[in-house]
Structure 1
Amino acid sequence: MNQASDQARPTPRAGIMEIEAYVPGKSTAPAGVVKVHKLSSNENPLGPSPKAIEAARDVAAKLDIYPDGTARR
Protein backbone atom coordinates (compact mmCIF):
# COMPACT_ATOMS: atom_id res chain seq x y z
CA MET A 1 0.00 0.00 0.00
CA ASN A 2 1.11 3.52 -0.56
CA GLN A 3 1.23 6.23 2.08
CA ALA A 4 -1.99 7.93 0.90
CA SER A 5 -4.10 4.77 1.19
CA ASP A 6 -2.60 3.95 4.61
CA GLN A 7 -3.66 7.38 5.88
CA ALA A 8 -7.20 6.97 4.54
CA ARG A 9 -7.85 3.81 6.58
CA PRO A 10 -9.70 4.32 9.89
CA THR A 11 -7.86 3.46 13.07
CA PRO A 12 -9.83 1.52 15.68
CA ARG A 13 -9.77 2.60 19.31
CA ALA A 14 -7.18 1.01 21.58
CA GLY A 15 -8.10 -2.54 22.51
CA ILE A 16 -10.58 -3.15 19.68
CA MET A 17 -8.23 -5.36 17.71
CA GLU A 18 -7.61 -7.51 20.80
CA ILE A 19 -11.28 -8.52 21.07
CA GLU A 20 -11.70 -12.16 20.11
CA ALA A 21 -14.03 -12.89 17.20
CA TYR A 22 -17.47 -14.27 18.08
CA VAL A 23 -17.78 -18.01 17.54
CA PRO A 24 -21.43 -19.10 17.37
CA GLY A 25 -22.46 -22.10 19.41
CA LYS A 26 -23.01 -25.39 17.67
CA SER A 27 -26.11 -27.48 18.20
CA THR A 28 -25.79 -31.22 18.27
CA ALA A 29 -28.60 -33.08 16.59
CA PRO A 30 -30.28 -35.81 18.62
CA ALA A 31 -29.89 -39.34 17.23
CA GLY A 32 -31.86 -39.78 14.03
CA VAL A 33 -32.41 -36.05 13.44
CA VAL A 34 -31.01 -34.90 10.10
CA LYS A 35 -31.24 -31.12 10.47
CA VAL A 36 -31.52 -28.87 13.50
CA HIS A 37 -32.87 -25.31 13.20
CA LYS A 38 -31.16 -23.12 15.78
CA LEU A 39 -33.91 -20.77 16.84
CA SER A 40 -31.58 -19.34 19.48
CA SER A 41 -29.52 -17.91 16.62
CA ASN A 42 -32.60 -16.22 15.16
CA GLU A 43 -32.83 -18.74 12.34
CA ASN A 44 -36.16 -19.37 10.67
CA PRO A 45 -36.63 -22.39 8.40
CA LEU A 46 -39.67 -20.74 6.79
CA GLY A 47 -38.05 -17.46 5.73
CA PRO A 48 -39.53 -14.01 6.39
CA SER A 49 -43.27 -13.52 6.71
CA PRO A 50 -44.97 -12.18 3.57
CA LYS A 51 -46.25 -9.31 5.73
CA ALA A 52 -42.68 -8.48 6.79
CA ILE A 53 -41.54 -8.47 3.16
CA GLU A 54 -44.43 -6.18 2.21
CA ALA A 55 -43.69 -3.82 5.12
CA ALA A 56 -40.00 -3.64 4.15
CA ARG A 57 -40.91 -2.85 0.54
CA ASP A 58 -43.35 -0.13 1.65
CA VAL A 59 -40.71 1.53 3.82
CA ALA A 60 -37.99 1.15 1.18
CA ALA A 61 -40.15 3.08 -1.27
CA LYS A 62 -40.13 6.07 1.12
CA LEU A 63 -36.43 6.25 2.02
CA ASP A 64 -35.98 9.42 -0.01
CA ILE A 65 -38.43 11.39 2.18
CA TYR A 66 -36.64 13.39 4.87
CA PRO A 67 -38.23 15.30 7.76
CA ASP A 68 -38.68 19.05 7.48
CA GLY A 69 -35.69 20.58 9.26
CA THR A 70 -37.60 23.81 9.91
CA ALA A 71 -40.55 22.12 11.64
CA ARG A 72 -41.29 23.37 15.16
CA ARG A 73 -43.08 20.26 16.46
Structure 2
Amino acid sequence: METRTNHDLPVVAKAYNGLDRNAFIFGWNPQSELWNGRLAMIGFLAYLLWDLAGYSVLRDVLHLIGY
Protein backbone atom coordinates (compact mmCIF):
# COMPACT_ATOMS: atom_id res chain seq x y z
CA MET A 1 0.00 0.00 0.00
CA GLU A 2 1.43 3.34 -1.08
CA THR A 3 1.24 6.26 1.31
CA ARG A 4 1.49 9.90 0.31
CA THR A 5 2.77 12.71 2.42
CA ASN A 6 2.06 16.41 2.12
CA HIS A 7 5.42 17.15 0.51
CA ASP A 8 4.53 14.83 -2.42
CA LEU A 9 1.71 17.17 -3.50
CA PRO A 10 2.29 20.33 -5.56
CA VAL A 11 2.10 23.63 -3.69
CA VAL A 12 -0.19 25.21 -6.31
CA ALA A 13 -1.82 23.85 -9.44
CA LYS A 14 0.21 25.33 -12.28
CA ALA A 15 -1.42 26.04 -15.65
CA TYR A 16 0.04 26.61 -19.10
CA ASN A 17 1.68 29.90 -18.19
CA GLY A 18 3.24 28.55 -15.00
CA LEU A 19 1.09 30.63 -12.65
CA ASP A 20 -1.46 29.54 -10.07
CA ARG A 21 -4.65 28.51 -11.92
CA ASN A 22 -6.82 30.05 -9.19
CA ALA A 23 -5.17 33.47 -9.33
CA PHE A 24 -7.41 36.28 -10.55
CA ILE A 25 -5.28 37.65 -13.40
CA PHE A 26 -6.72 40.20 -15.83
CA GLY A 27 -6.39 39.59 -19.58
CA TRP A 28 -6.38 36.69 -22.01
CA ASN A 29 -4.93 33.72 -20.13
CA PRO A 30 -5.95 30.24 -18.92
CA GLN A 31 -7.06 31.64 -15.56
CA SER A 32 -9.65 33.87 -17.22
CA GLU A 33 -11.41 30.82 -18.70
CA LEU A 34 -11.60 29.19 -15.28
CA TRP A 35 -13.02 32.34 -13.68
CA ASN A 36 -15.43 32.83 -16.58
CA GLY A 37 -16.79 29.32 -16.07
CA ARG A 38 -17.06 29.74 -12.31
CA LEU A 39 -18.91 33.04 -12.60
CA ALA A 40 -21.22 31.57 -15.26
CA MET A 41 -22.10 28.69 -12.93
CA ILE A 42 -22.89 31.16 -10.15
CA GLY A 43 -25.10 33.12 -12.56
CA PHE A 44 -27.02 30.05 -13.69
CA LEU A 45 -27.54 28.96 -10.09
CA ALA A 46 -28.69 32.46 -9.11
CA TYR A 47 -31.23 32.52 -11.95
CA LEU A 48 -32.45 29.02 -11.05
CA LEU A 49 -33.00 30.07 -7.44
CA TRP A 50 -34.69 33.29 -8.60
CA ASP A 51 -36.98 31.24 -10.87
CA LEU A 52 -37.82 28.76 -8.10
CA ALA A 53 -38.74 31.69 -5.85
CA GLY A 54 -41.43 32.64 -8.39
CA TYR A 55 -39.72 35.47 -10.26
CA SER A 56 -39.32 34.14 -13.79
CA VAL A 57 -38.41 36.45 -16.65
CA LEU A 58 -38.93 33.69 -19.21
CA ARG A 59 -42.37 32.76 -17.83
CA ASP A 60 -43.44 36.42 -17.78
CA VAL A 61 -42.35 36.94 -21.41
CA LEU A 62 -44.18 33.81 -22.55
CA HIS A 63 -47.29 34.98 -20.69
CA LEU A 64 -47.12 38.37 -22.40
CA ILE A 65 -46.95 36.87 -25.90
CA GLY A 66 -49.86 34.50 -25.21
CA TYR A 67 -48.32 31.12 -24.39
Fold-level match, TM-score > 0.5?
A: no
TM range (shorter): 0.3 to 0.5
| TM-score between the two structures when normalised by the length of structure 1 | 0.30
Structure showing greater radius of gyration is 1
Q: Which has the higher helix share?
A: 2
* Larger RCO, structures 1/2 (Cα 8 Å, 6+ apart): 2
